[in-house]
A and B are shown apart, each in its own frame.
Chain A
């Protein structure tokens, strides 16, 4: 591979990463803190590309081919694949398709020793799905009772039954695992269930329900929430948690 072609590939990889950071789309793939890794790395790659390009331009008459066959890495062509992925395909964040095939993750919170009381002056209290599930399962909902709870997530179907889910990411989207919460329709007619499309983001307001189910995939407990209202919302910037 010629050196100017190498410069173009470096520019595309570095520029692609900077573009992800600029548009905020990086949140579909990695954790928010990774911004501070992506930006310097992108800048450095663009700088290497610029230096390589300038050198190739200067040396144009002196040597046309870099490395005389040794070590000019043919494998570098493969770097075009993530560039195509980042810039052209731009896949969406993982959603219901993945969540329906992966067991709920709630067991990770098992070791937590204290569940602080929820504030009394906020109504409804916004909680993350993971926090709600941990309080419901490992603390038997002690801190949840007497509060109206607000949860945000997307819809997935476990058979015919709609559930609320959110993907939990520890490192990057490759290790995304869902936390799932079932709907208990005791206080409503349950008619809303038919309108929910998979992957639709919703805001659920409701109260703690002692009902629990099991995720068939890994046998973990799935807590329920007694639904008061379900409102469709736009997907948040960071769909992971």
Chain B
């Protein structure tokens, strides 16, 4: 079955108008065609240098032989602590990334293209708040929502609405609401303030993008068109997106682990009493530590020296923007996008937290 399909594709490819045998700027395609036309040995192509599989094998052999050295290298307590944090962020985030990647692959492969045109309101100004409220239904943390937002944009959803969804979903979903409720017992105002502030900031960012955003800032990694059917497209999208977003997640995890290990906590204590500096300090801390939105409420609750508004800022900023997310957004939407989006999200989140803190707390 599979072989037949491959063969068909092979024939179909041969039927395409053939480019001249050597096209310098499109080496991959011409080599590809050449190898399918003539039964010549594939050896010439291999000689280009080390293929990635061989490089991988070398790295693995090196890693296994160097294992005692690695253990020595990481024997120092600080290095152990760094490695434990790095592995911890990765192990905690990968399952959510896999979930998000699988969801986004399912959207790309199985949801008909016109579905979102019908489901999402035509006017962007209206679509943005709808997307914000819809964010409440995806019970996953922020690692999952970035690839899903990427899939929505590819599927033709207005970017403004997709970004609002991306920001709102990890901030106000049911699990987050419950964990906030548990972390602040007897203080339901904190839950209300968190939901209101997150929704307000997410919608603000959506409207801001609709007004000021430019499509050329977006650089979505292109997906290959698959003619093997929906399942092949589904698996290929999971593979591609996981490898891509996962690589950026690793960068973010390494930065977060470094900051957590190197920045001493003592610098927080003297600024806790100042109302303005306290809010800013916890907002910056949320960016640096990159905690999952599902449990950041417990960490916020433990920062007892700070004012309630500062804790609220910690919980509103965290799901919006942190070093791990910024790396993933740069990977999914492009660096030009991330450089503009991250500061805007930070400012909107802090402003909304201060406003809602004044109203509720």
Contacts and interface: CB of A to CB of B under 8 A. Distances in A.
B22 interface: no
A88 B67 contact: yes
A217 B250 contact: no
B284 to A, nearest CB: 16
B contact face: mostly helix, strand, loop, or mixed: helix
A145 interface: no
A12 to B, nearest CB: 8
A30 B243 contact: no
Interface stretch (A44-52, A115-123, A182-190): A44-52
A174 B221 contact: no
Contacts of A17: 91, 94-95
Interface stretch (B114-122, B129-137, B259-267, B339-347): B259-267
A108 B301 contact: yes
A59 B6 contact: yes
B88 A108 contact: no
B28 A69 contact: yes
Interface stretch (A77-85, A200-208, A228-236): A77-85
B89 A79 contact: no
B112 interface: no
Contacts of A237: none
Interface in A124-141: none
A5 interface: yes
Contacts of B257: 174
Interface string A68-94: 111101111111111011101101111
B184 to A, nearest CB: 7
B185 A112 contact: yes
Nearest to A62: B10
Contact of A108 (B13, B235, B244, B302): B302
A78 B2 contact: no
Interface in B277-336: 289-292, 294-296, 298-299, 301-305, 331
A98 B240 CA distance: 37
A68 B223 CA distance: 11
A174 B184 contact: no
Contacts of A55: 232, 235
B239 A113 contact: no
Contacts of B63: 84, 88
B36 A76 contact: no
Interface residues of A, number: 81
Contact of B53 (A5, A52, A81, A170): A5
B81 interface: yes
A89 B222 contact: no
A196 interface: no
A38 B71 CA distance: 25
Interface in A216-241: 217-220
Interface stretch (B96-104, B150-158, B202-210, B348-356): B96-104
A46 to B, nearest CB: 11
Interface string B1-24: 011001001100100000000000
Contacts of B64: 88
Given A40-B95, A73-B244, A86-B87, A174 B260 contact: yes
Contacts of B95: 17, 34, 37-38, 40-41
B265 A103 contact: yes
A81 B301 CA distance: 33
Interface residues of B, number: 94
Given A13-B246, A38-B91, A171 B74 contact: no
Interface in B158-185: 183-185
Contacts of A28: 84
B57 to A, nearest CB: 8
A97 B81 CA distance: 8
B51 interface: yes
B42 interface: yes
A2 B99 CA distance: 24
Interface in A13-36: 13, 17, 20, 26, 28-30, 34
Contacts of B242: 10, 45, 48
B6 A62 contact: yes
Contacts of A103: 265, 269
A175 B295 contact: yes
A97 B77 contact: yes
B255 to A, nearest CB: 11
A168 B3 CA distance: 54
Contacts of A164: none
Interface of B: 2-3, 6, 9-10, 13, 26, 28-29, 31-32, 35-36, 42, 45, 51-53, 55-56, 59, 63-64, 67, 70-71, 74, 77-78, 80-81, 83-92, 94-96, 98-99, 102, 183-187, 221-224, 232, 235, 238-240, 242-244, 246-248, 250-251, 253-254, 256-257, 260, 264-266, 268-269, 289-292, 294-296, 298-299, 301-305, 331
Given A61-B42, A89-B87, 7 more contacts: A65-B28, A65-B32, A70-B222, A70-B224, A75-B248, A79-B247, A81-B86
8 contacts: A59-B6, A61-B35, A75-B331, A76-B246, A89-B74, A89-B83, A111-B184, A173-B85
